[in-house]
Amino acid sequence: MAKNNIIDVHLFGEEIGRIGLDENEGRTSFQYHPTFLASSKYLNIFPNTGILKRVPQAQVFNSFGGKTFHGLPPQFADSLPDKFGNLLFKIWLESKNENDITILEQLAYVANRGMGAIEYHPGNQLPKNASIDLEEIIDVLKSVVEDKRSHKEISLSSKSLINIFKIGTSAGGVNPKILISEHKKSGEIIPGDLEYSDNYHHYIIKLALDEEAVYPREIVEYCYNLTAAEIGIEVMDSKLIENRHFATLRYDRQLGEKQHCLTATGITGWDFRSSTNSNYERLFKLSSFLKIKHTQTEELFKRMVFNVIFQNNDDHLKNHSFIYNKKKDRWKLSPAYDLTYSTNPLLVFKKNIRALAINRKRIDINLDDILKIANEYTIKNPKGIIEEVQDAIPFLRRKLKEHEVSEQVITKMFAKIKAIK
């Protein structure tokens, strides 16, 4: 295998293995590093869902194709961006006249800048710069997205390109977002790709790039975050920037360390784009398989109820994650994220179906469906939890009003946000 068809995988400062790519056969492989394997450390970094086995031989993968996995084992495909990051990636490559790069070359760009704690070495080095101007970055991104939409040629200085590439291509998801770190004392803002010390607040910022938008998606997400916190759902602290952009602290940058995180799709290989495994029953099963504490199973139940009541229908398998505790060698639920009214309420959708089915249903979920899950996973007092979530409906309305979301939007939203019957 040619040298550039192998990349090393590092975690917590040591090489844990290597990914190989056989371009002719379109296959990838993973082999644990013998020293790491022999150390018997961190036995659970990749929960044994039958994909990555803890064996010395190289393991070959040819069943993870398509847009979600790109041929990689799901644990590593989790390091790749989705729609928005890919758009910036493409612009970056076009600017360098590199159009056709392999998936390992893409991982070399992720390098040590990815979400979570997994790093890829050797990485492609990009210049490190000190502070950045948030307003300028947002302006650049706005013009890039507009130009791309109208198929205009994109002309940017290389400094602007490097900046948006560095902070805009790591996180997954469809919507425009960047990573920044803000110094706790001086307030200085630096690119959020490399820094992880505790001297900074590390934010993921979901950007409101369309100033004309009648539906202020980012403000609504902020109000959802406040509502979830109000009823004790664990979310990271968040704030609005310039009253428009939604900034939330990163759970994968805490205590001055990178936290190893994987999405439900990353752990299991269940493709979040396919309906086959997309249901809450699977997610609860995965949680018991990971031996999360019962209080966390109750938390997951509360999140499910929240998503049903507040019409967060885009609750797919990459919108649920787990964090690894390296001291205890075990997993827990990550804080909840991407909680929002998922579709523009001003548009009429023929089908507005839930990503994760409940009791085989994606619409018209009723009390019986929810109670069936509660029964299966021995949730105490499910009706009490449902009531607690429902009681937060006026709180959300108040928050939306306080943040000047239009009456028109609020009315449309609350035509759908209802108690469970």
Ligand X SMILES: Nc1ncnc2c1ncn2[C@@H]1O[C@H](COP(=O)(O)OP(=O)(O)OP(=O)(O)O)[C@@H](O)[C@H]1O
Write out the residues near Mg ion by the rule CB under 5 A.
173, 319, 338
Nearer to ligand X, 82 or 234 (CB): 82
357: Cβ contacts below 8 Å, ≥ 6 apart: 275, 278, 279, 280
Residue 383: in which H helix or E strand, if any?
A: helix 382-390
Nearer to Mg ion, 47 or 173 (CB): 173
In the complex, least distance from residue 184 CB atom to Mg ion, rounded to whole angstroms? 27
- Pick one of ligand X, Mg ion, none as the site partner of residue 204 (Cβ within 5 to 8 A by kind): ligand X
Task: Phi first, then psi: give them for residue 20, nearest 5 degrees.
Answer: -115, 155
Q: Binding of ligand X at residue 204 (CB under 6 A)?
A: yes
In the complex, least distance from residue 172 CB atom to Mg ion, rounded to whole angstroms? 7
Residue nearest to ligand X (CB): 173
In the complex, least distance from residue 55 CB atom to ligand X, rounded to whole angstroms? 28
Write the Ramachandran bin of 160: left for phi over 0, alpha for psi from -120 to 50, otherwise beta: alpha
Q: Binding of ligand X at residue 415 (CB under 6 A)?
A: no
Q: Binding of ligand X at residue 263 (CB under 6 A)?
A: yes
Q: Binding of ligand X at residue 307 (CB under 6 A)?
A: no
Q: Binding of ligand X at residue 271 (CB under 6 A)?
A: no
Q: Binding of ligand X at residue 134 (CB under 6 A)?
A: no
Residue nearest to Mg ion (CB): 338
Q: How far apart are CA 132 and CA 123, in angstroms?
A: 23
Q: How far apart are the first and last CA of the chain?
A: 60
Q: Binding of ligand X at residue 114 (CB under 6 A)?
A: no
Which of these, 195, 202, 167, 190, lies nearest to 88 by C-alpha position?
A: 167
Q: How far apart are CA 315 and CA 328, in angstroms?
A: 29
Q: Which of residues 330-369 bind ligand X (CB under 6 A)?
A: 337-338
In the complex, least distance from residue 5 CB atom to ligand X, rounded to whole angstroms? 27
DSSP class of 123: P
Q: How far apart are CA 144 and CA 167, in angstroms?
A: 14
- Pick one of Mg ion, ligand X, none as the site partner of residue 171 (Cβ within 5 to 8 A by kind): ligand X
Nearer to Mg ion, 227 or 319 (CB): 319
Nearer to ligand X, 32 or 246 (CB): 246
Which residue from 144, 171, 283, 396 is in contact with ligand X, where contact means CB under 6 A? 171
Q: Which two tokens stand for residue 195?
A: 């820094």
In the complex, least distance from residue 338 CB atom to Mg ion, rounded to whole angstroms? 4
In the complex, least distance from residue 314 CB atom to Mg ion, rounded to whole angstroms? 7
Compute the CA torsion angle 306, 307, 312, 316 (nearest 10 deg): 150
Q: Binding of ligand X at residue 312 (CB under 6 A)?
A: no
- Inter-residue contact 341 to 393 (CB < 8 Å): no
Cα-only R_g, the chain: 22
Q: Please name every residue paired with 258 in a beta bridge, in sequence order, or none if there are none.
A: 253
Q: Which two tokens stand for residue 144?
A: 């890039």
Q: Binding of ligand X at residue 321 (CB under 6 A)?
A: yes
Nearer to Mg ion, 248 or 319 (CB): 319
Nearer to Mg ion, 279 or 321 (CB): 321
Largest distance between two CA atoms of the chain: 62
Distances (CA, A) of 241 to 134, 143, 219, 222, 353: 10, 19, 10, 11, 31
Count CB neighbours of 372 within 10 A: 14
Nearer to Mg ion, 31 or 319 (CB): 319
Nearer to ligand X, 178 or 420 (CB): 178
Binding site for ligand X (CB under 6 A): 82, 115, 171-175, 204, 236, 248, 250-252, 263, 314, 318-319, 321, 337-338
